[in-house]
A and B are shown apart, each in its own frame.
Chain A
C-alpha cells in the first residue's frame, strides 16, 4: 500500500489533528506513516493543510505530491492546496463551502453543516471528515482509527467525536454506493 492524503481547510478546524490521528492509526496498524503540515504565518486562521503518507515501505520524500485523497473544507484551502490527484484519486469537498469549479468527480459532502446541526457550533469538523474519508476509501482498520480518535480528542468530547466519526462513515459510504458522478468509482 502507498497512499498520499492531503487534508486542507482553515486554522482551527482541527485538520492537523486529523492528520495526526490518521498517521497514528496507520502506525498502530503496522504501516509506516509520515505526517507534515504547512507552517507559516498563514497557518493561524488562514488556509492550512496536513499531509499524510501511509505506506508499507520506508517513506522518503515526506510531502504529498499526487493525492490519493484530497479533502478541502474551505474555498481558500481548495484554491491554494489543490494539486494533482493520483489515478483513482478521491476529491472530497465541503458541499456548502467549496465550489470545485468544474472539477469532475468531486464528492461534495455537507460535512460542516452536518457537524453544526448534530453537535453545535463549537464542534470542529475534523473527526467527521475522517469518518467520511474512511467511508469512501478505508486506509486503516476502523477499530484502530476509532481507538486513536478516542486517545487524541479532548476527554470530555470523546462520545461526541465517536458519534461524529460513525456518522461520517455512513455519509461517506452513501457516496460510494450512489456515486455523484460516474468517474473513477470502480477503483474504490
Chain B
C-alpha cells in the first residue's frame, strides 16, 4: 500500500519490509515479545512470495534452520529477544567460523533471565559482541527510528552476504514497538548485495580459500560444488585441521575480511560536532533522547554535539578519534549500566573525560536525564 505521505509502521514491521526488500526468503523463529510482530507479519508475507516461514520448537533450532537454509542459498533471518538470544549464542559462532551469512534480530528487553517482561533496555550490547565463545569477529548494527530500522535491516543483509558472516541487528523495545512514518524506497533505490558465487569448475572450488577481499565465493548446496561444512577449524577445502600454519592463516582471514571493510561497516551520524566541546554519544532509542537534549543545549548556546552509532561492533572508534583535539568531554547515553561507556572509556585513553547518562532499570532514557549529566559537565 503506497501512500503519498508515507505510511505508519511499527519498528518490527520495518524489519519485515527491510528483510523482504533485501531478498530474504527464509525465516525460522520462536516468537517472543518484543520481537513477535516480525514473525507474525513474515508468517503471512513470506509464503505469499514463495518464501518459507517455519515456527521452530525453540531458538536453538531456529538459528540452526536459518544457517541450513543459507547454506542452501537462501537469504535467511531469525528474530528473538533476550532469553532466546542467549539460547542462540552457540550457533552464532558456528555461523562465524563456517562463514554462513544470515541476519539475527534481537529486540532487546530488560534482563537477565525473564527480567522485566518486556520493559526497554539495551543490556545485550556486550552479549552481542562476545556471547558466543572464542575469539571471533562480528557485525552488530542498530537503529533509532522506524525508517532507520528499514535501512539497517537491508544493510544487515548486505553485510552478511558480502562478508559471509552472521549479522546481528540489535534493536530495543521502544524502537521495535514504536509506530512512525516511513516511506519505503522503490525497488532499485537502495543497493541490495548478493553473495558471490563460484565461477570456476567445481573441482577447483576451495570454499574457504583466501581471495583479494578475504571473502571466498559461496556455493549453495545443490549448485554442484561439493564441499564440507564444519564448526571445527578447517583448511581451505573445509576439512578439519590443527596444523598451526593453517589455523593461523584461516583465523587471520576470518578477522581481516571484516577489518578490511571497517570504513564501510562502521556507520555513525553526527550533529553539531565541528565546534563541539562536549559530545553526547548514543544509539538506538536512547539516541532520540540524546538528540533532543543536544538540540535543547544548542538552543541555550552550549557547544554540544551528537554522535549516533548505527554500528555498535566493530566499534566505530574512528568517528571519535576525528575529534581528538577539539572535544573535551564525551557523555555516553544508553539504557544499561554502561556497556558502551566502558568501550568509549577504553578508546579514550585519557584523551577525553568520559561521562555517562544511564537508564538501567527498564525505563526509556529521557532527555532530562541526559541534560542533568551534560549540564554539570559543560558548566
Residues from 1 to 23 in A contacting B, C-beta threshold 8 Å: 20, 23
In chain B, what residue has the closest Cβ to A151?
B1
Contact B292 A61 (CB under 8 A): yes
Q: Chain A's nearest CB lies how many Å from the CB of B209? A: 48
Q: Considering residues B179, B288, B289, which has the most beta carbons from chain A within 10 angstroms of its beta carbon?
A: B179
Residues of A within 8 A of B8 (CB): 20, 23-24, 27, 33, 35
Between A and B, how many residue pairs show CB distances below 8 Å?
63
In chain B, what residue has the closest Cβ to A144?
B5
Contact A28 to B5, CB < 8 A, known contacts A34-B178, A37-B177, A39-B118: yes
Complex Cα–Cα for A32 and B179 (A): 11
Residues of A within 8 A of B5 (CB): 27-30
Assess whether B117 is interfacial by the CB under 8 Å rule. yes
Contact A59 B3 (CB under 8 A): no
Q: Chain B's nearest CB lies how many Å from the CB of A87? A: 19
Contact B291 A60 (CB under 8 A): yes
Contact A36 B181 (CB under 8 A): no
Q: Chain B's nearest CB lies how many Å from the CB of A55? A: 11
Residues from 24 to 61 in A contacting B, C-beta threshold 8 Å: 24, 27-30, 32-37, 39-41, 59-61
Complex Cα–Cα for A40 and B363 (A): 12
Complex Cα–Cα for A37 and B34 (A): 12
Residues from 1 to 60 in B contacting A, C-beta threshold 8 Å: 3, 5-8, 33-34
Residues of B within 8 A of A37 (CB): 177
Assess whether A66 is interfacial by the CB under 8 Å rule. no
Contact A63 B364 (CB under 8 A): yes
Among A27, A32, A62, the residue within 8 A (CB) of B178 is A62
Q: Chain B's nearest CB lies how many Å from the CB of A51? A: 10
Main secondary structure of the interface of A (DSSP, over half): mixed
Contact A39 to B34, CB < 8 A, known contacts A27-B8, A33-B181, A34-B178: yes
Residues from 172 to 187 in B contacting A, C-beta threshold 8 Å: 173-174, 177-181
Contact A35 B367 (CB under 8 A): no
Residues of B within 8 A of A35 (CB): 8, 178-180
In chain A, what residue has the closest Cβ to B179?
A35
Complex Cα–Cα for A24 and B9 (A): 9
Assess whether B256 is interfacial by the CB under 8 Å rule. no
Complex Cα–Cα for A170 and B179 (A): 29
Residues of A within 8 A of B7 (CB): 24, 27
Q: Considering residues B8, B34, B118, B285, which has the most beta carbons from chain A within 10 angstroms of its beta carbon?
A: B8
Q: Chain B's nearest CB lies how many Å from the CB of A84? A: 13
Residues of A within 8 A of B173 (CB): 39
Contact A28 B288 (CB under 8 A): no
Residues from 335 to 354 in B contacting A, C-beta threshold 8 Å: none
Q: Chain A's nearest CB lies how many Å from the CB of B177? A: 6
Q: Chain A's nearest CB lies how many Å from the CB of B120? A: 9
Among B6, B174, B181, B289, the residue within 8 A (CB) of A60 is B289
> Could you list 22 A-B pairs, sorted by A, with CB under 8 Å?
A20-B8, A24-B8, A28-B3, A28-B5, A29-B5, A32-B180, A35-B8, A35-B178, A35-B180, A36-B174, A36-B177, A36-B179, A39-B34, A40-B117, A59-B180, A60-B288, A60-B292, A60-B295, A61-B289, A61-B292, A62-B174, A62-B285
Known: A27-B5, A60-B289. 11 other contacts (CB 8 A): A20-B8, A35-B178, A36-B178, A36-B179, A39-B118, A39-B173, A40-B117, A40-B118, A60-B292, A61-B292, A62-B288
Q: Top 3 nearest A-B pairs by Cβ distance?
A: A60-B292, A35-B179, A24-B8
**Residues on B facing A (Cβ under 8 Å):** 3, 5-8, 33-34, 116-119, 173-174, 177-181, 285, 288-289, 291-292, 295, 364, 366-367
